[in-house]
Amino acid sequence: MQQNNGLDKSQIISFAVLCLVLFGFMFYFQKDEQKKEALNAGKQKTEQAQNAAKPTQATNINPNVTPNSIQTATLANKELKLEFSSLGGQVSKVELLKYKAYDHKTDKADLPLYLIDKNNSNYGFQFKDKTGKTVNTKDLVFTPVVNGNSVTLTANYNGAAIQFIYTINTTGELKDQYALDFKVKSQGLANVSSDNKADFIWDYNVRNLEKGRAQEQSHSEFSYAFNNYKDYDYDGRSTMDEKDETLNWIGVKQQFFSSVIESKSGFTQSKGNQDAIEEGEYLKKLNFEGFVPMNGSELNQDFTWYFIPLDLPLLKSYDKNFDEILPLGWSFIGWMNRGFFIPMYNFIASWGIAAGWVIFLMTIIVKLILSPIMYKQHKLSAMMKVIRPEIDEANAKFKDADPMKKQQATMEIYRKAGVNQMAGCLPALVQIPIFYALFRFFPNFIDLRGQGFWFAKDLTAYDDLIKLPFKIPFLGDHLSIFAIACTVVILIYTVMTSGNMQQPQQEGMPNMKVIMYIFPITFLFFLNTSASGLSWYYFVSNAINILIILVIKYVILDEKKIHAQIQANKAQPKKEGKFQKRMREMMENAQAQQKAQDQQRKK
């Protein structure tokens, strides 16, 4: 008796009702969340007023310096507000004025966004004086003098003067607004030191600025360019070692922002390490060390600091390979994001619609492009259903025979029917690079940052309206509604497409149907802490897949015609293809070897 592997009318109605329930569930939580926000608005304002930020005292690195004696100077333009400390002559605070950081207390992105604050960045130039004592400029006390858009910090060490001159751009192009010119000058240092190079040491603790801690932590790493800006590399491991390369710039990349220092002479013998921080306001601790030359034992070098959002057009405008900092994927994957998904998003977003609906339309466009491949896949599925009785008959006939003979008989049925099993793999192969490209796109595309849709407040982070009173391993302390909805439709799609999958005929062989059903459940663990934009995309994508199957099954394909076509294919002599010939020869050789081994055992 032929199995009915499709959906009947009651199943179609069930699917439609389930979709309505899911959407109703989404709208309910959105409305409920809006009520909570309205009730807590006054309370939050009161708390923010009571918890106004207090000045943070600097760490007393130098025993001769007290916190009250440390002076600060400030520079600002339209994009950056910078503060400089007299202790070490360092940049002690960096605020990006047009962006906000996520506040875990209010569940909103309403905090000032500081890349550097509270001594999380500490850098200096280290050298030895003629007595062998190690000196680091971060321990010296500088005197700041502000002149317009420039600040000069001067320190003295045993009669030698060291100056750090910082200049910010207040006019010019947007890219210039994120740059800070940094000149280092010395006078009389040759009388104090005989070194021919200084060791630039930079310690940096990455601040937690986004909602998804684990996701942001995984995107925090070293990034650097070398070979005259032509080559780029990154390091998310525990250590980095580039002793043979001269680095043009070294940066600490976060999910959407980066702090970069460029050396005009380059950093040599560079090395670094990084360690994850499990909890608190910091995500990772990174330490970098690289040498810069001291000409005639004087420290005269030009640098540029960049405190930049990872916006692709902005990064490209520098022409310093900064666009590689944005992790959109290597090779073809990166090309798909840069040349297809980002332009498509920008084009649709220019219509003025919400980000969630932009993603919805992107999904439809991708489906339309892939529709010919999808049609072939589902047509193959329908043909497999028609010849299933013959496959079952062959399996029963060769039940007790050599497994190789059973496989040969099955392949012969496919060949006569004109069914190419390998064609079913093509859609899956095409989907893999698309999935990986989108996996890179959604959590790294800064235009989506802070863009809400329904109950998801930020499409680059997870939605967590369903909060759990405990933590579940690999799942966390919440349930994402987008992830749940996506998992449900993937499960429905799996049920619809796994009907033609053969059951294992031999003992010990895995049941592929069971594995296929487990996959959507495991997918929930992955999506629950991923960008909600990715879950929304795949919810829409798989819902469309289900509709395509229904349309193909009930509107486009006629099983009687397919059956007649298969019978006609059987009647015609079939030319054996190269792949089929190779498979047949492999099976025959394997069968011959098996027989030889059996005969050898009998002897």
Asked if residue 395 is part of any domain, the answer here is: yes
Predicted local confidence at residue 401, as pLDDT: 61
Residues 343 and 289 in one domain: no
Print the domain residue range for 529.
9-34+335-586
Q: In this structure, are 296 and 393 located in the same domain?
A: no
Residue 45 covered by a domain? no
* Tens-place pLDDT, residues 4-53: 334 444 444 444 544 454 445 444 444 444 444 444 444 444 443 333 33
Q: Tokens representing 360?
A: 């919805």
| The last residue of a domain, from among 282, 299, 327 | 327
**Alpha-carbon gap, residue 71 to 55, rounded angstroms:** 13
For 155-193, the pLDDT digits (tens) are: 999 889 999 999 999 888 888 999 999 999 999 998 988
Which tops the pLDDT comparison, 128 or 378? Answer: 128
Indicate the pLDDT class of residue 55, thresholds 50, 70 and 90: very low
Whether residue 507 has pLDDT greater than 60: no
Does the residue 39 lie in any domain? no
Pair (466, 549) in one structural domain: yes
How far, CA to CA in Å, does 218 sit from each of 13, 275, 477? 42, 11, 19
Distance CA 331, CA 497 (A): 32
pLDDT in tens, 109-119: 889 999 999 88
Range of 374-378, 491-495, 571-575 with top mean pLDDT: 491-495
Range name among 198-202, 296-300, 583-587 with the lowest pLDDT average: 583-587
Is residue 44 assigned to a domain?
A: no
Residues 374 and 288 placed together within one structural domain of the fold:
no
Q: Give Cα separations from 144 to 88, 222, 517, 551 (angstroms).
A: 11, 31, 66, 73
- Please indicate, yes or no, if residue 524 is contained in any of the structural domains: yes
| Secondary element (H or E) of residue 440 | helix 425-441
Domain-located, residue 526: yes
Residues 169 and 215 in one domain: yes
Q: DSSP readout, 107-151?
A: TEEEEEEEEE-TT-EEEEEEEEBTTS-EEEGGGSBPEEEEETTEE
- 559 and 467 in a single domain? The answer is yes
Verify that 405 and 515 share a domain, yes or no.
yes
Give me the CATH number covering residue 116: 2.70.98.90
Helices (H), 275-387: 312-317, 331-336, 342-349, 355-386
Kindly state whether residues 354 and 498 are assigned to the same domain: yes
Which of 263, 292, 327 finishes a domain? 327
Q: Flag whether 602 is in a domain.
A: no
In this prediction, residues 308-317 reach a mean pLDDT of 94
Q: Across residues 271-279, what is the average pLDDT?
A: 89
Q: How many domains does the chain have?
A: 2
Q: Are residues 366 and 473 in the same domain?
A: yes
Query: Would the pLDDT of 202 be above 70?
Result: yes
User: What pTM, to 2 d.p., does this model score?
Assistant: 0.75
Residues in the chain: 603
User: CB–CB of 528/462 below 8 Å?
Assistant: yes
Judged against a pLDDT cut of 60, whether residue 415 lies above it is answered with: yes
Determine the pLDDT at residue 476. 75
| Same-domain pairing of 113 and 166 | yes
Residues 213 and 272 in one domain: yes
pLDDT over 70 percentage in the chain: 70
Backbone phi, psi, residue 181, to 5°: -70, 135
Q: Note whether residue 213 is domain-resident.
A: yes
Same structural domain, 228 and 184: yes
Given 301, 327, 353, the domain boundary residue is 327
